[in-house]
Amino acid sequence: QVQLVESGGGVVQPGKSLRISCAASGFTFSPYSMHWVRQAPGKGLEWVAVISYNGINKYYADSVRGRFTISRDNSKDTLYLQMNSLRAADTALYYCARDNLGMGPAFDIWGQGTMVTVSS
Amino acid sequence: EIVMTQSPATLSVSPGERATLSCRASQSVSSNLAWYQQRPGQAPRLLIYVASTRATGIPARFSGSGSGTEFALTISSLQSEDFAVYYCQQYNDWPYSFGQGTKLEIK
């Protein structure tokens, strides 16, 4: 079935780095732009970053620009988020989501999320 | 940056009744708006896109309306599984932004 599965989350110290991944299956990954969205514990959704289908165009939220890098490997059907200089405020459940141009482009498929905790 | 404001923060409604949730954009987003449902412990699920089109598999009791800066999500007859948090999202301009959410609770 169509699904996105995130991995790579964990506990990391402030100032350190972490890379999380999102593996796609059940659909052709390469034509779709992909996003990362995060949710701090007990809080709402915050859009983080997007990458175009071919990996050329990337946009970031102000809160992560310069520290986070989104990338993808279409040969592996996988999306990545490299997170550097992590802060306590980056603690959240990180979701990847598919951007469906035929729907607006709304986010029609979401993963279950991977938890990132920044703490000393 | 476009700010999305949802109201109310919490809405208490009895099963079988109608619920209307509101979303306002700080500037026009045309019809480039989506609604998502998030149940406890689950990922968000797309309900409505381009302001009023139901996503695949979404029951007809869910309807969206509005354009420009004022939007609404209406659930015509609440079922037990509808009690959740609802988010609106604009994708008219970068950065894409979500509202803070409306929690729909059982009265």
- DSSP state, residue B93: S
- DSSP state, residue A102: G
B-interface mutation test, from A103, A108, A109, most B Cβ less than 10 A away: A103
> What confidence score (pLDDT) does residue A104 get?
78
**Residue whose entry in the numeric block shows the structure tokens 């869910």:** B62
**Beta-sheet strands, E only, within chain A:** 3-7, 10-12, 18-25, 33-39, 45-51, 58-60, 68-73, 78-83, 92-100, 106-110, 114-118
Over residues A22-61, the pLDDT tens digits come to: 999 999 999 999 999 999 999 999 999 999 999 999 999 9
Across the interface, do B34 and A104 touch by the CB < 8 Å criterion?
A: yes
> What confidence score (pLDDT) does residue A101 get?
82
- Across chain B, mean pLDDT equals 96
Which positions in chain A touch B55 (Cβ < 8 Å)?
103, 106, 108
Which positions in chain B touch A108 (Cβ < 8 Å)?
46, 49, 55
Q: Does position A103 have pLDDT exceeding 90, yes or no?
A: no
> What confidence score (pLDDT) does residue B105 get?
95
d(CA B23, CA B9): 11
Burial B15-46 (b: 16+ CB within 10 A, else e): eeeebebbbbbeeebebbbbbbbbeeeebbbb
Nearest-CA distance from B38 to chain A in Å? 10
> What confidence score (pLDDT) does residue B94 get?
87
> What confidence score (pLDDT) does residue A102 get?
79
Across the interface, do A104 and B50 touch by the CB < 8 Å criterion?
A: yes
**Please, what is the Cα angle at B49 between B43 and B54, to 5 degrees?**
90
> What confidence score (pLDDT) does residue A105 get?
86
Average pLDDT over residues A4-31: 97
Share of residues in chain B with pLDDT > 90 (%): 96
Over residues B35-70, the pLDDT tens digits come to: 999 999 999 999 999 999 999 999 999 999 999 999
For chain B, what's the residue count? 107
Count A/B contacts: CB-CB distance under 8 Å: 63
Which positions in chain A touch B43 (Cβ < 8 Å)?
95, 110-113
Take residue A58 and report the two structure tokens written for it: 């990337």
Q: For residue B31, what pLDDT band results from cuts at 50, 70 and 90? A: very high
Average pLDDT over residues A97-104: 86
